[in-house]
Structure 1
Amino acid sequence: MHTDLSPVIAATAQWLTRAYPASGGALSDALCEVQARQAVTVAARLRYPTPMDVALLGVTGPGGSARLDRTTGAGGAASADPDADVWRTWVDEVVASWAACLLTDPALAGPAVAALADGGPSAGTPAEFRRLLAPDATDRQAAALLRHPDLVAPVAALHHAGLVARLGPGQALVA
């Protein structure tokens, strides 16, 4: 059983960057991945705020990318190697949806990071999530598809209401 969220964060960020790839070379790829990883990290910590939540995730699994693939058409052809797409089983649909919301709506990203900061000293700081909260022109260009509200709308809409409810008043982050 995993005691942290790293498999879910890695797989979900990979799914996002494959569904909404960067264009422009290796630097753009890296900047796009950093932004996806920051958004996914915030979303995962909000979704699974306690050690018990993380432990239950390790037992039940996150659900995989099947619905996301159908929603976006990002599944593509199956690989000849049956183990090549095993990472997709660690994609969390809710986390991907929440991350898409955070990447396309600064009015949600700020409160989401603030909710993490309320969770204690190890929860993260706004500086840790700079590329999510205050992307510069290079960041925006690198992640143009990933941050485009119309393109990610089908994914963001899947669980937008849940994120808004999670960030609403009276929903303190439990540690």
Structure 2
Amino acid sequence: MHADLSPVIAATAQWLTRAYPASGGALACALSEAQARQAVTVAARLRYPTAMDAGLMGVSGPGGSARLDWITGADGAGSVDVEEEAWRSWVDEVVVSWAACLLTDPQLAARAVAALAEGGTPVEFRRLLSPDDRDRRAAALLRHPDLVAPVAELHHAELVARLDPGQALVA
């Protein structure tokens, strides 16, 4: 993983877990966060496959969460402390959308991980690819296709195009 993607991955995973929170206590929160982080990591590596891509994103910025907040209804949540919510400026809408696609479509997730691994399946993405019952319960909202559909549909076509076998991936 490119070190330059760390702030985007952290902020984007945080946005997902706040928009679609876990239920069931601290363990459920940790399991849900692990799944979100794995999906976001795969999505970010697909979106920014080279050091140059990550560098350009670092210069231009990822875009922030404003549109996503509006879509999910989180934009009218009352007064927001700008300094406390500064992490939202590191949220990447495309990465959120792609991660939502991966969390709700196991076949698409397998294709995405395979594209990154050049045919292999790294162990680091087990919770994304093979969630057990506890993982599924913890991330019930995060993995619910109907609930995340407004976000997943935003950039679904671009993800499918990126994973097209005719499309060259640089990893």
TM-score, normalised to structure 2, is: 0.95
Q: Does 1:156 align with 2:157?
A: no
Residue correspondence of structure 1 range 1-175 to structure 2 within 5 A? 3-75=3-75, 76-79=77-80, 81-118=81-118, 125-175=121-171
C-alpha separation between the residues in 2 aligned to 1:38 and 1:78? 31
Unaligned runs of 5+ in 2: none
What is the CA distance between 1:118 and its match in structure 2? Answer: 2.0
Please say if residues 113 and 125 of structure 1, whose CA atoms lie closer than 8 Å, have aligned partners that are also in contact: yes
Unaligned runs of 5+ in 1: none
Q: Could you list the structure 1 runs, at least 4 aligned residues long, displaced by more than 3 angstroms after superposition.
A: none
Matched letter for residue 5 of structure 2: L
C-alpha separation between the residues in 2 aligned to 1:36 and 1:72? 17
Paired residues, number: 169
Aligned CA RMSD, in angstroms, stands at 1.5
Please say if residues 115 and 172 of structure 1, whose CA atoms lie closer than 8 Å, have aligned partners that are also in contact: no
Change (3 A) 1:3 1:137: closer
